[in-house]
Structure 1
Amino acid sequence: MSVSGAIPVSSGDAAPGIPVIDVGPFIRNEVGAAGVVKAIEAACRDTGFFLVTGHGVSPQATSRLYSLARAFFDEPQEWKKTIGRGNGVIGGVSFSPIAEEALAATLGLKTPGDYKESLNFGENLPGDIWPNKPDGLEQAFRNYFKEMEVLSKHLRRIFCQAIGLDQDYFEPSFENHLSALRVINYPEQSEAPLPGQLRAGVHTDYGFMTILRSEASPGGLQVRNRNGEWLDAPSIEGAYVINIADAFMRWTNDEWVSTPHRVANPPTDFKGTARRQSIPFFLNPSKDTVIECLKPFIKGGAKYEPITYGEYIDLKTKQAFSKG
């Protein structure tokens, strides 16, 4: 049964699908806002994934970042590898070449590096000086980052209502937040990937939540439901994919789920273009934020000891980039 404000995307009778939820009524404080909260609460418990429409994010800011990042990725690999390799600039840029990161390592799985490259930025994160081409790349990142900050605040307030907290409960945790904006390029696969190599290996995200601008392409985002089945995430023009991440799941005593997901390779017999570009915004709290069970979820006791987000993210990042 669907709830008001949600358009269910069916994945069969065995398990719930990935719902599409119009958050506009909540953002505008209109009739239907309560239905939005109920729909998102159900999604957070069932799959940890949902899509949002009615979000108010500027399509111009999205398009500009997408286009300028694509122009960067079109530059020669030898030049790109000279960009974003230092960490002496707060609010600088970082570049991760193809196969440098293996996300499955965070789940204890050893695989070849993921077949992708990425540009990364966070207002409070270390990076390097920005490249001088394409013109406007840094500003495009900063403008889109601001759009994501606005949307994420709306979503946090929805979460608070769903949990039964004051709507601004989480706001102190996001002062000087360590959020990261990434644009990922999944190139054409002119050669067969290595055994076990995916565009992005199976993983869960580390922080509070992720807001993803994705696109339809062969070899896309797949989500593993509670029955162990892989669902293809629907691609809807203008919608954003939202997923609960590990630190938030820990906050909820594992009642809201951080769901394993991956980016599959294109079919081997596919003849058209399979290049893909996505823009995830990883919403992370501040370094000193203590992640501990929220009171409404304690019930029989907290599963985890309190930990600061800084300690938690250090461990996860070392796992992802481990060469061992």
Structure 2
Amino acid sequence: MQDATDPQVSDIPVIDVGPFIRQEAGAAQVVRGIEQAARDTGFFLVTGHGVSPATTARLYTLARAYFDLPEDYKRAHGRGTGVPGGVSFSPLADEALAATKGIETPGDYKESLNFGRRLPGDAWPDAPEGLEAAFGDYFSEMETLARHLRRIFCSAIGLDPDYFEPAFENHLSALRVINYPEQEESPLPGQLRAGVHTDYGFMTILRSEASSGGLQVQRRDGQWLDAPCVEGAYVINIADAFMRWTNDEWVSTPHRVANPPAGKGGSSRRQSIPFFVNPGKETLISCLEPFCAGGAKYEPITYGDYIELKTRQAFGQR
């Protein structure tokens, strides 16, 4: 586990948000710290968040058990789209995230399970027992943490604390558990655990773990930083739609998941749990007033149209 005070990773601060959540001394310092991080790198870690360790551990354990099942079983589930709030399974190397930046690479060396309350999926598998409930319980924990963070953002921007809440009444947020297996063979040229990309939505809340071959964040000078891993903390990053809302003053930063170093001893298997916080489809993304003094860079657009635009751009379409 890395020391969060190490100069190599000090660009990505660790912030205890407990004082803000409890509205006690230190709340203003929380707001200032997050605002600075949102402007500088778009990444920070939070502790004091109140997420249940038991709920997190249950999802982690059951998802890991699913990934350990035979490949034929996994591929027989989660491949359809006919069940609202169902599960979706993405097998190894099925996705190449760098394509969203116009970079052609082999598929990423990972597999994942995906769920959203308002997103299409497939029927949940029978094994392991309790998987659907574990996803649902953790999803609820993330909704609560996301509300706390939105209120912090509003305080930093100078908005009413509940300014963003109407945009999230029918939110399209997604919960994903990602398995990065041991790399028993050398990856293909250009293949990473997750290729360089930015996230499209409002923000991402990531539960990660210490292992070789982890999350890296690109500084503005192009240098790649290893994100610190702090027990019990969550990595938060600003995503593209929120960056547009702030007229590009709060930054959505490229990131990737590196391969473990060749020849490194010990296990390099890794499991992470990102929660992609996305507003409702009809939400209008329009320059927030505090950021518009020099004029808005972008025309207003609904979140649904914005995602369609980003997808077309990613695949070279007009």
Q: TM-score, normalised by structure 1?
A: 0.94
* Residue in structure 2 matched with residue 226 of structure 1 by the alignment: 220
CA distance in 2, matches of 1:131, 1:146: 21
Partner amino acid, structure 1, of 2:210: A
* Residue in structure 1 matched with residue 32 of structure 2 by the alignment: 38
Partner amino acid, structure 2, of 1:122: G
Alpha-carbon shift at residue 290 of structure 1 (Å): 1.1
* Equivalent runs, 1:1-324 vs 2, <5 Å: 9-12=5-8, 17-317=11-311
1:240-262 alpha-carbon deviations (Å, 9 max, x no partner) = 00000000000001000001000
CA distance in 1, matches of 2:142, 2:157: 22
**CA 1:59/1:124 → structure 2, altered by over 3 Å: closer, same or farther?**
same
**8 A Cα contact 1:53 1:239, kept in partner:** yes
| Secondary structure in structure 2 of the residue aligned to 1:29 | coil
Q: Structure 2, unaligned stretches of length 5 or more?
A: none
CA distance in 2, matches of 1:81, 1:22: 40
Give the length in aligned residue pairs: 314
Alpha-carbon shift at residue 25 of structure 1 (Å): 0.3
CA RMSD of aligned residues (A): 1.6
Alpha-carbon shift at residue 318 of structure 1 (Å): 6.4
**8 A Cα contact 2:4 2:228, kept in partner:** no
Q: Structure 1, unaligned stretches of length 5 or more?
A: 1-6
**CA 1:8/1:75 → structure 2, altered by over 3 Å: closer, same or farther?**
closer
| Secondary structure in structure 2 of the residue aligned to 1:202 | strand
**CA 1:129/1:195 → structure 2, altered by over 3 Å: closer, same or farther?**
same
Alpha-carbon shift at residue 273 of structure 1 (Å): 0.8
Q: TM-score, normalised by structure 2?
A: 0.96
Partner amino acid, structure 1, of 2:194: A
**8 A Cα contact 2:102 2:314, kept in partner:** no
| Secondary structure in structure 1 of the residue aligned to 2:60 | helix
CA distance in 2, matches of 1:128, 1:155: 31
| Secondary structure in structure 2 of the residue aligned to 1:216 | coil
